Structures are given as C-alpha cells and as structure tokens.
Structure 1
C-alpha cells in the first residue's frame, strides 16, 4: 500500500476493492417466459397463491406459518416481504415475483422501470431485481389524478446467487393533486385471485 493510500485510508476509512457493480435492464428469455406461462397455468401456482393468502392473513393475526410473510405497514407505504425457504424453489420464487408484476399491471398500472443490480459486497454478492410500476394517468384532465394504490415497487433479493427474500411495496402519493389511495388490502386481494 502506498503512502497516499495509507493516508486516505486513515482519513476516509478503508475502501473495499470488491465494489463491482453491474446495472442492467431486467428482462426474461423466451425460455423463462414459456416456463412462467406454464407455471401460471399449473396447480402449483394455484396452491402457492392459497398458501400465500393464508400466510398473509395469519401474519396479520400475529400467527406464524410455513410461508414466512412479513408485513410492512406505515402511513405512506404498505406491503409485505416473503422469505425464501423450503416452500419455494428458485424457479417458483422467480415466477411468483413476475406474477406479482403481472397482477399489478392488470390493476391499471404501467411498467415504469425494470432493472437488475449486482453488487459485490465485502463478504457476499447481492443481486436485486426490481419492477417499478406507476398508475396509468389517463385521467390527467380531471381535477384529481387517480393514484389507485400508489407507486408499486417489487424487488427480489439474492445473496450469493441464491434467493433470499421478495419485497412488495405500495407507496402512496401525499400530494393534493392525487386522489386518496385505495386500501392496500384491496390490492392484496386482487394479487391473490386468479
């Protein structure tokens, strides 16, 4: 280590040489899309949605279930996180992630951004896949813009290329130009219906 690196390290702290960062658009291959469509039409997806609905409502009553669901609730943001465990396979977890995006699109949303970020941390590699959806604004000529359930962010996080958890957040607009957001529970019911 040079004298300069040593001085900078003492002033600003040691910088990791493993700061690799990849940022790319998130897209699916034709094979992944075909696999996803097969999954959507399968009994496995139906069963997973039933289990998810049950786990979410049990968690609201503070009862644990095999599918680990965590509630994310605040004044302006509501949602849930799901921990990857033996209930899922890596493929079913990805399919479930994509399914949440498609169900949100059906509620009057448009895909505003999709990306994948891969970061090399000091002791692990982290991959974050994200779908960012915004309400469609066909009603801009009205007095209030219909925000529906707010902006939606759906993220799938992997650690060392293994699924870790999935997060779904609805963030409402607190601006007087927007209508009052619809209740998150209504959105949840739409996500779990086929």
Structure 2
C-alpha cells in the first residue's frame, strides 16, 4: 500500500512540475493495427471530403477577403511561416475525425518527398486542465539534395512542416498546420504555400 501511495504522490508531483521542456508524459506516436484499419475506412467517408472541401473554400475566401473566413478557422501568414489553425472545439467534428485528419495531413505531406523527423505526444499539467500535444514534424527528403552541385543552395521545397493536434482534458481543442521556410543563402527560394495547400487538400 505504501508503494502504491508513493507512486501516486510522485505522479502528482511530476504533473505539478511539468513544463514545455519537462512534460509529464513524452512518448512516440504509434498507431495500433485496429486504428490503422479504422483510419483506412475513415478516408473513404464523406467526413474527409467535407473537411477538404471546407478548407479549400475557406482558403480561397481568405486569399480574396481575409475577414470573410469561418470563425472556426484562422490562417497564418508571416514572411517565414504560413499555415492554418482549425478550432475543432468550435466545430461538430469528433476527436476521431480530428485525429484521423491530423494523420491524413502527415500522409499527404509524406507524398511530397518529405520524411518524418518525429511523431510524438507530450502532456502537460496546466492550471485548469491537462494539455496534450500530438505532433508530426516533417522535413524535405534527402532526394531533394541528392542532385545538388557543390556550393549550390539546398532545395527547401515548402520548408519544414509541423502538424500539431492539441487536446485539453482529452477533448480535441485545435489542429495547427504550419510550413516554416528559411531566408538564407544556403537555401533556394521556397515553393509557394498555395501550391502546398493544393497538394495537401486535394
């Protein structure tokens, strides 16, 4: 009994001390066979089609009139970072839908000569909730560098891509998709973000 109490006491102390550099839980994301089968089925449903159509429509609207986009969606546009945030807490989509869309975005980016640098999950104790961040961090594949001559700038393609799913007390809060590019003579000019959107959301 004393060992059990010590275990729980230690767990709560760790939760209180969790920080961005010291999460309560840090683990790699690994999907079970059942989850993979369910994901394969989900990709054939209308849910995915609706999400893709909605995002395409909203991105087109944003490019014409930024103030006209849906309240459940924000777009990021800075010189070095471009992307979007879906506020799933303001939509009718389930956690399953959000999780599978998170994995779908990774799958689409991988089809563009990218590789996964890391896919992990971190949990933190916040003041009023437990925050969990699932993350896919993707970088341009080695094939983009293979044919470079010595001294030639590296191709950065669309830059490094981060897909993050944020949960609060195990309920989906938002999904962030961000491409970050380098403004450096070591790298070629990045490809246009609108082209990335076209490739990912088709």
TM class by shorter chain equals: 0.7 to 0.9
User: Which residue among 23, 32, 37 is the counterpart of 1:34?
Assistant: 37
User: Which residue among 91, 96, 103 is the counterpart of 1:91?
Assistant: 96
User: Which residue among 95, 111, 134 is the counterpart of 1:106?
Assistant: 111
- Equivalent pair of 1:58/1:65 in contact (CA under 8 Å): no
- Equivalent pair of 1:16/1:122 in contact (CA under 8 Å): no
Question: Which aligned segments of 4 or more residues in structure 1 are displaced greater than 3 angstroms?
Answer: none
Please state whether the residue corresponding to 1:18 is helix, strand or coil: helix
TM-score (norm. length: structure 2): 0.82
Unpaired runs of at least 5, structure 2: 1-12, 19-23
User: Which residue among 168, 183, 188 is the counterpart of 2:177?
Assistant: 168
> Shift of the alpha carbon at 1:145?
1.6
Are 2:157 and 1:148 aligned?
yes
| 1:42-77 C-alpha deviation (Å, 9 max, x unpaired) | 2221122111211222234221337x2101110011
Are 2:26 and 1:23 aligned?
yes
- Calculate the aligned-residue CA RMSD, in Å: 1.8
Unpaired runs of at least 5, structure 1: 1-14
User: Which residue among 127, 133, 148 is the counterpart of 2:132?
Assistant: 127
Alpha-carbon distance change, 44 to 82 in structure 1, aligned in 2, over 3 angstroms: same
Please state whether the residue corresponding to 2:135 is helix, strand or coil: strand
| Number of equivalences | 178
| 1:157-183 C-alpha deviation (Å, 9 max, x unpaired) | 011110000001100022212111001
Q: Partners of 1:152 and 1:112 in 2: how far apart?
A: 10
| 1:105-145 C-alpha deviation (Å, 9 max, x unpaired) | 01110001111001112221000000000001222451222
TM-score (norm. length: structure 1): 0.85
